[in-house]
Amino acid sequence: MSSLISSRRASCAACLRAQSACICAWVRPVDASSSLLILQHPLEVANAKNSARLLHLCVAGSALAVGEQFDPAELDALLHADGRTPLLLYPETPGVAAVAAGELPPAEQLRLVVLDATWRKSRKMLHLNPALQALPRLALSSMPASNYRIRKAHAPDQLSSLEAAAYALGQLGGDMAQVAPLFDAFDGFVQQQADFVPLDRPHTRHA
């Protein structure tokens, strides 16, 4: 019995999910012009419907750090690694305007920073990390409807972290074809999650 339980709980070393729910088959390598930094809230790590890990595995050279409040020195090192200019992907908010496209450095000099969290938790992450508050912001607008149908109470205009990052990276690099594999990866991931039946789910008995 113990060996059976152990095998069921075996995890993939790459995607960190149970082997029965591994998402590595959907990894589609993308070499984006801009660098990518994903700051993931701890509550999202174990969420099976979360797309940030797949995003990280797809985008070459990307970094993923988990936390709500980061050490200032460590965060500064992540933001400015390789001398790149960090740019926060975040909607426009009162008093904080998004930077105009014409004001940005070339894509090769930029690091896109994505907060992987609910809106409420992302606001808390900003509050707890002044360095994030101070970053210039990139806001997406007029986006197509999301394919994030596996999350309940998800409005059509609310994108997953992977979708939002893909659109942002494509816009920064001026080439959406470059990031098209990310949408293919996401479609496969969504379908897998929609079809997934846990091995230990109890069977329903019919009369």
- Cβ contacts of 150-158, under 8 Å, gap ≥ 24: 150/49, 150/190, 150/193, 150/194, 151/49
Total-model pTM: 0.85
The rounded percent of the chain whose pLDDT value lies above 90 is 64
Task: Look at residue 202 and tell me if it is in a domain.
Answer: no
Task: Look at residue 170 and tell me if it is in a domain.
Answer: yes
Is the per-residue pLDDT at 1 higher than 60? no
In this predicted structure, what is the pLDDT of residue 20?
A: 87
Which domain, by its residues, includes 50? 25-191
* β-strand partners of 87: 112
Question: Residue 179: which residues within 8 A CB-CB, separation 6 or more?
Answer: 30, 32, 166, 167, 169, 170, 173
Confidence of residue 49 (pLDDT cuts 50, 70, 90): confident
Could you read off the pLDDT of 143-166 as tens digits, one per residue?
A: 766 665 555 544 445 789 999 999
In this predicted structure, what is the pLDDT of residue 137?
A: 93
The whole-number average pLDDT for the span 48-52 is: 90
The rounded percent of the chain whose pLDDT value lies above 70 is 81
In this predicted structure, what is the pLDDT of residue 101?
A: 67
Task: Look at residue 6 and tell me if it is in a domain.
Answer: no
Is the per-residue pLDDT at 17 higher than 70? yes
* β-strand partners of 39: 65, 115
Is the per-residue pLDDT at 13 higher than 60? yes
Confidence of residue 52 (pLDDT cuts 50, 70, 90): very high
Task: Look at residue 169 and tell me if it is in a domain.
Answer: yes
In this predicted structure, what is the pLDDT of residue 153?
A: 44
If you average pLDDT over every residue of the chain, what do you get?
A: 85
The count of structural domains within the chain is 1
